[in-house]
Amino acid sequence: MTMPAPPGDQNPVDREPAAREAWGRQPPGPTASPWPVYPMPMPTPQPRNGMGVTALVLGIVGAVLGLFVVLFWMSWVPALLAVVFGCIGLSHARRGLATNRTMALVGVILGGAGLLISAACGLFAVVVVKEAADDVRAKADRVKASAAAEEEKKKAQEKARHLSFGQSYTFENGLKVTVAKPQPFTPDDFVLGHAKGNKAVEVTVTVVNTGTERLSVETGLPNVNDAKGASAELVIDGSGRQKVITGYVLPGKETVGKYAFSLPPDAADKVEVEFSPDAKRWPDAYWSGPN
């Protein structure tokens, strides 16, 4: 059985390649997406403001600490760090990495001010300490000089109180005392304080009142030491030649005391006499020399 030919004497088999060609052709270029394409947003970098904030905080701390004189030695550390961090913050701001340029700049300024304050306070402290040390040293030198002068004065006074027989010494109350060279003394038969074989001497003490008021002699007895430094014994006899100074001495007047002492023969070549008109107030003066 023969199939009838399609109209127009066209062969469907012959049209298939043409149809495929018509439907299969595509324009050059990227393949169209069935979904709409939107541009992807780029992430915005976060500003690096930490250095500026740190510089500001440290600058405030350094400046405040520098205002306290006792804390100036602590202020230079935060102040220096404020300058360093502030400079880094300014560098970030210039490169667009930070947005707090003003804060970093203020931190640098405060840090610099803190350094200046710290340096000024340090200089002030050095000056104050130096002046205090100089003052202490000057006071110590004055005290030392005063002590040395006092010691020299005591030595001079001590030297002035050591005299030879016949010289005079004036005590601070105005009594001038003179001790004459001891003279031989012969006790009578009724004698106390004189051993047989000893040498008896008589000591004469003259006291003159050089002041304007009457003055008392509280201790009228001298002390006599022999050549060996031993105290000689006071001689008392019945001759009545000894006289003890007692009572008051009127202005411009004098009183004379006479005392006898017994010296051992081996220590009688030199005598020292100690005397003070008031032993509680004035130290003794000393008269010495060969007997």
pLDDT of 122: 84
The answer to whether 286 and 270 are in contact (CB under 8 A) is no
pLDDT of 219: 79
- pLDDT tens for 47-100 read 778 888 998 999 899 888 877 766 777 888 898 999 999 999 899 888 888 888
pTM of the predicted structure, to 2 decimals? 0.55
pLDDT of 207: 96
Give the H or E element holding residue 238: none
pLDDT of 26: 52
Strand 233-237 and strand 254-263: the pairing is antiparallel
pLDDT of 69: 65
Residues of the chain predicted below pLDDT 50: 1-3, 6, 9-23
CA angle 100, 106, 110 (to 5 degrees): 150
Nearest to 267 by CA among 185, 201, 171: 201
Q: Domains of the chain by range and CATH?
A: 50-132 (no CATH), 163-290 (2.60.40.1240)
pLDDT of 97: 86
- The single residue listed with the structure tokens 């009228």 is 220
Q: How far apart are CA 149 and CA 226, in angstroms?
A: 34
Please, what sign has the CA dihedral across residues 98, 101, 103, 105?
A: positive
